[in-house]
Amino acid sequence: MKSLNLSALALKHRTLVLYFMLVFMLAGFITYGKLGQKEDPEFTFRLMLVKTLWPGATAQEMQDQVLDKVEKKLQETPYLKYIRSYAKPGEAVTFIEVRGDTPPKEIPDIWYKVRRNIGDIRQNLPQGVLGPFFNDEFGDTYGSIYALTGNGYSMAELRKLSDRARQSLLRVENVKKVELLGVQAEKVYVNFSTTKLAAMGVDPLTIIGTLSQQNGLEPSGFVEAGGNRLYIRTSGEFNSVQSIANTPVRAAGRTFKLSDVAAVYAGYQNPQSFAFHHQGKPGIALAISMAKGGDVIKLGQDLTATIEQLKHELPLGVNIEPVSDQPKVVKNAVNEFMHSLLEAVAIVLAVSFVSLGLRVGVVVALSIPLVLAMTFIAMYLFNIDLQRISLGALIIALGLLVDDAIIAVEMMALKLEQGWDRVRAATFAYTATAFPMLTGTLITVAGFLPVGLAKSAAGEYTFSIFAVVAIALVLSWIVAVTFTPYLGYKLLPELAHHGEEIDVYQKPFYRRFRALVDWCLRHRKLVIALTLLAFLASVFSFKFVQKQFFPTSNRVEVLVDLWLPQGSSWSNTRAEAEKLERKLQGNPHLDSVTTYIGQGSPRFYLPLNQEQENANYAQLMIMTKSLDDREALLKQLNTWFSTDFPNVRGRAVRLENGPPVGYPVQFRVMGPDQKRVRELADRVTTIMRANPNTRNVNQDTLEQARILKLDVDQDKARALGVSTQSLSRTLNLMLVGAPMTQYRDGDQTIDVVARLDPQNTPSLQTLGDLPVSTASGKTVPLSQIATVRMAFEDNLLWHRNRTPVITVRADIAEGWQAPDVSDQIEPELRKLEKAQPPGYHIELGGSKEGSSESQASIAAVMPLMLFVVMTLLMLQLHSFARTFMVLLTAPLGLIGVAIALLLFNQPMGFVANLGIIALAGMIMRNSVILIDQIEHDIREGAHAWQAIVEATVRRFRPIMLTALAAILAMIPLSRSIFWGPMAFAIMGGLLVATVLTLLFLPALYAAWFRVKPQPQPEA
């Protein structure tokens, strides 16, 4: 370092340095405008969904015959974390999640292997199984959603209009795909009259066969004549609903029109399985996802322009309105963060001007935009967008990136005060501080290594903290040793002197501080003991600090889940959802209400915990006007759910941050026998409900559903020529309907569905009167061959890694954090678990599990961080003892962290933990600079006692200034819901640790090396 003085080189080529300063400033300004902007950083969704259908099967049959085979094969998946599945009547869904340390580039290959492995067992699945169907785009985010509604327009007309809008939106740059939600499937219904069928002796299955043959599409061949090939096209296929009604049917020796025995008309799927409402009106949603690497702000501008054009093209009465506008959210978030960044810049500048004076402050001030400009260039080159994490990292870095500039310019200013010329002062700053500064900078960067290398979803989510801070700090050192000397040379004046250097450390303040340091050295044992006592007390006090995983989001939306009892009809679910819509009409706290009936909202922001299709489920996304309105509406909703919705399990929540978790408190009950698992889960539910800090305790499996059990007298049925299969088909045809053929209308393929006329649908009492066709062509009442009785069966069965599981879940009371509530409940559950037979256990889930996994991924990188830090310390200090001393100062920040978190009632979570880890690097940075100065003075011939005292006095101003800049720069972040805990942790920890570095570290050094006071010279 001493052989090549970069500061001297910069001053030798001042014009070149000025040129590069201007180039970097201009390039940084340009690249800032080109940086992508997002709400959250991109991270890989390590989850795939596999769905299998088997119409007619019970949940138990789906579990035994389908899920077990699929899960067994999926256990061969590389990097597998777990397999989670559920079985419902006729449907099974499996979620495959791979570990957090799975390399993102290998994810597509893993999903290919899943498809291939399932393909290998497809022939082993029962006959009649449909699928499996795969969804490896489960993590796609539809940040922009628009609602298309129209008064007086049918759903078919809205579908055609929305399809036109979709085509326009797909042409917008950076639009990946556009999904239409809420489209009602069109049907042509053929409603049979049982009276007419029985009177004419017609079997409905005969009619189905006739229609299928009439409308079948088969090749008719071709004729070659005169060198031309002429294809033959036969007529007869259905071209209108009337043509279906006029279809001739021959049965029982007679020919008649279909309309003679059935009413034929066009309609929509009934009962529905999904519907979309906006502001209480049925409509169709256009959900838009952005292409990878796109700029959400630019996309928002293009979408707005396209939507405005569509509004002019749509017919009168049709409206298209935004439901979720992520570009607007991102723009507001980026503006808010930039405002915070400017606040932080102003604070750091104020610190510089007040403490260093105008001219020195200007030197530091000019280094800030230069480092930020160079950081923006690096972010652009490394594809780091402006988003929640990177913007927070910029503010964190801002308080640190001025450290090297302050140290360099403070040393230069000091030497100028002592009478040195500008060139000598600037080059001396490099000689004296460049290598310790570099070591300290790299140690600070190493403090963020666990964040950058953590192999987990949370680690990937927060990676840009490490990336941005590392880039900014390394660049700040380069600026401090090249551009800052140039600025100091230009802006700092040489002071006239008369041959003697001025000792600025004999001013009154420094004399008092020197006396304090001397006192600490003389009472070193007391200082060390008090510091150790404070450290132990802080460790103990952490048990009183609230714990969390990630803070809640500061978005204004409220998500409302409505669950009806298992087995409830879709129409009942719609009625309850519409009841809530009516109660919300005119509410002063909200702007809009969007309802999804039959399944959850699409993933309109990354951490959303998405719900799959369920007839007894509806979700409302309510856009409130402000955070205060959000909180007021949450209270209203919770009151309504307890008083006005007795048949609904309602849940109103804020949006989450970080990886999706769902219910914050969760415990999984697992074991080999489903019945015993349910009994154990009921006991867990009782324990959780007894805790005063839980709310809305429930199980994911829900209660058993009522069914009608048909006990067939097989002897009678066989005698009449009625098989179980034909009986099931006849009942399904009459009660639900069965597709007979398809009517092709333009680009639409519409099912023609045969069913019993809804007006003739039997009640529970008259179900036995349904006519059943026999082999002779006659009909007999159902009650003649079967007995109908009420029964119960499991309607939803969950598996985890092929083991039956029931998850007991709960929300938490206001003012509490999920990990704390989980810790309160867990001891009782462990007692319950010990009393169970082998194979039955209770696993922790929810926020506490997510937090533990994330902390474990960080802990796995801690040895590497420790190795890097120790290596840097050894390179700088060349001493095991001094290296160990620096390491001992790293935990001192916990004293201030505990005080700050308790004093300001901030939770200890993943984000705060990142701050504590990074804090260790900041503290060691100051320790390195101080010990290096002590060693330098001893090498220059000073007595060890004097070297400790004087080095501490001389390093007081730069250490305090850099700490003060970092602490005060956190003030804007302290107001953030997301970054607040980290900001308070860093502010409190760094403040206390800096003071201890200047008092405890000298005492520790003196005690370690048994330094005695310098003998007083004899008079």
Element spanning 256, H or E: strand 254-257
Q: Which two tokens stand for residue 289?
A: 């996802």
Beta bridge pairs of residue 463:
none
Tell whether 883 and 1014 lie within a shared domain. yes
If we measure between CA atoms, which residue out of 868, 854, 917, 42 comes closest to residue 455?
854
Tell whether 449 and 521 lie within a shared domain. no
- How many independent structural domains does the chain possess? 5
The pLDDT tens digits of the residues spanning 926-956 come to 898 889 889 888 988 889 999 999 999 988 8
Give the model's pLDDT for residue 700: 87
Tell whether 103 and 213 lie within a shared domain. no
Please give the average per-residue pLDDT across 271-300, as a whole number: 89
Please answer whether residues 555 and 597 qualify as being in contact, where contact means their C-beta atoms are separated by less than 8 angstroms.
no
- Asked if residue 480 belongs to a domain, the reply is yes
* Locus of tokens 């309504």: 640
- Asked if residue 190 belongs to a domain, the reply is no
Q: Which two tokens stand for residue 360?
A: 């020195």
Asked whether the predicted pLDDT for residue 339 surpasses 60, the reply is yes
Q: Which of 746, 774, 793 is the last residue of a domain?
A: 793
Element spanning 667, H or E: strand 665-670
CA 128/CA 430 separation, integer angstroms: 79
Tell whether 452 and 402 lie within a shared domain. yes
Identify which has the larger pLDDT, 766 or 810: 810
> Binning pLDDT at 50, 70 and 90, where does residue 495 land?
low
Give the model's pLDDT for residue 783: 84
Asked whether the predicted pLDDT for residue 1 surpasses 80, the reply is no
Asked whether the predicted pLDDT for residue 688 surpasses 90, the reply is yes
CA 678/CA 691 separation, integer angstroms: 20
- CATH number of the domain that 1 lies in? 1.20.1640.10
Tell whether 8 and 67 lie within a shared domain. no
Tell whether 29 and 59 lie within a shared domain. no
Please answer whether residues 344 and 972 qualify as being in contact, where contact means their C-beta atoms are separated by less than 8 angstroms.
yes
CA 437/CA 958 separation, integer angstroms: 11
The pLDDT tens digits of the residues spanning 798-815 come to 999 999 999 999 999 888
SS3 622: strand
Burial (0-12, 13-18, 19+ Cβ within 10 Å), 336: middle
Which residues in 136-185 belong to E strands, given as ranges?
144-150, 175-181
Q: Is the peptide bond before 78 cis (omega within 30 degrees of 0)?
A: no
The pLDDT tens digits of the residues spanning 357-377 come to 788 888 888 888 899 999 999
Tell whether 3 and 99 lie within a shared domain. no
CA 923/CA 912 separation, integer angstroms: 16
Please give the average per-residue pLDDT across 896-903, as a whole number: 92
Give the model's pLDDT for residue 404: 81
Give the model's pLDDT for residue 914: 79
Residue 827, amino acid: P
Please answer whether residues 110 and 46 qualify as being in contact, where contact means their C-beta atoms are separated by less than 8 angstroms.
no
Please give the average per-residue pLDDT across 660-675, as a whole number: 90
Average pLDDT, the chain: 86
Q: Reduce the secondary structure of 832-858 to three states and give it as a string.
A: HHHCCCCCCEEEEEHHHHHHHHHHHHH
- CATH number of the domain that 91 lies in? 3.30.70.1430
Tell whether 648 and 624 lie within a shared domain. yes
- Asked if residue 86 belongs to a domain, the reply is yes
Give the model's pLDDT for residue 371: 92
- Asked if residue 41 belongs to a domain, the reply is no
Asked whether the predicted pLDDT for residue 496 surpasses 70, the reply is no
- CATH number of the domain that 772 lies in? 3.30.2090.10
- Asked if residue 148 belongs to a domain, the reply is no
> Binning pLDDT at 50, 70 and 90, where does residue 252 land?
low
> What residues contact residue 618 under an 8 Å CB cut-off, 6+ apart?
561, 562, 573, 574, 576, 577, 595, 596, 597, 598
Give the model's pLDDT for residue 2: 47
CA 866/CA 446 separation, integer angstroms: 8
Cβ neighbours, 10 Å, residue 209: 14
The pLDDT tens digits of the residues spanning 550-586 come to 777 888 899 999 999 887 889 999 999 999 999 999 8
Q: Parallel, antiparallel, or unpaired: how do β-strands 186-192 and 748-756 relate?
A: parallel
Q: Which of 118, 138, 158 is the last residue of a domain?
A: 138
Give the model's pLDDT for residue 498: 46
SS3 583: helix
Element spanning 85, H or E: strand 80-88
Tell whether 474 and 515 lie within a shared domain. no
Q: Which of 105, 138, 171 is the last residue of a domain?
A: 138
- Asked if residue 84 belongs to a domain, the reply is yes
Domain extent for 752: 203-260+705-793
Tell whether 482 and 440 lie within a shared domain. yes
- Asked if residue 834 belongs to a domain, the reply is no
Give the model's pLDDT for residue 852: 82
Identify which has the larger pLDDT, 777 or 567: 567
CA 895/CA 644 separation, integer angstroms: 50
Burial (0-12, 13-18, 19+ Cβ within 10 Å), 711: exposed
Tell whether 408 and 475 lie within a shared domain. yes
Instruction: Give the length of the chain.
Output: 1019
CA 858 vs CA 85, 412, 460, 462, 851: distances in Å = 29, 40, 11, 11, 11
Identify which has the larger pLDDT, 475 or 495: 475
Identify which has the larger pLDDT, 958 or 53: 53
Provide the 8-state DSSP code for 694. Answer: E
Cβ neighbours, 10 Å, residue 695: 17
The pLDDT tens digits of the residues spanning 814-844 come to 888 888 899 999 999 999 999 999 999 999 9
Tell whether 413 and 440 lie within a shared domain. yes
- Asked if residue 649 belongs to a domain, the reply is yes
Please answer whether residues 372 and 476 qualify as being in contact, where contact means their C-beta atoms are separated by less than 8 angstroms.
no
Asked whether the predicted pLDDT for residue 392 surpasses 70, the reply is yes
Give the model's pLDDT for residue 647: 87
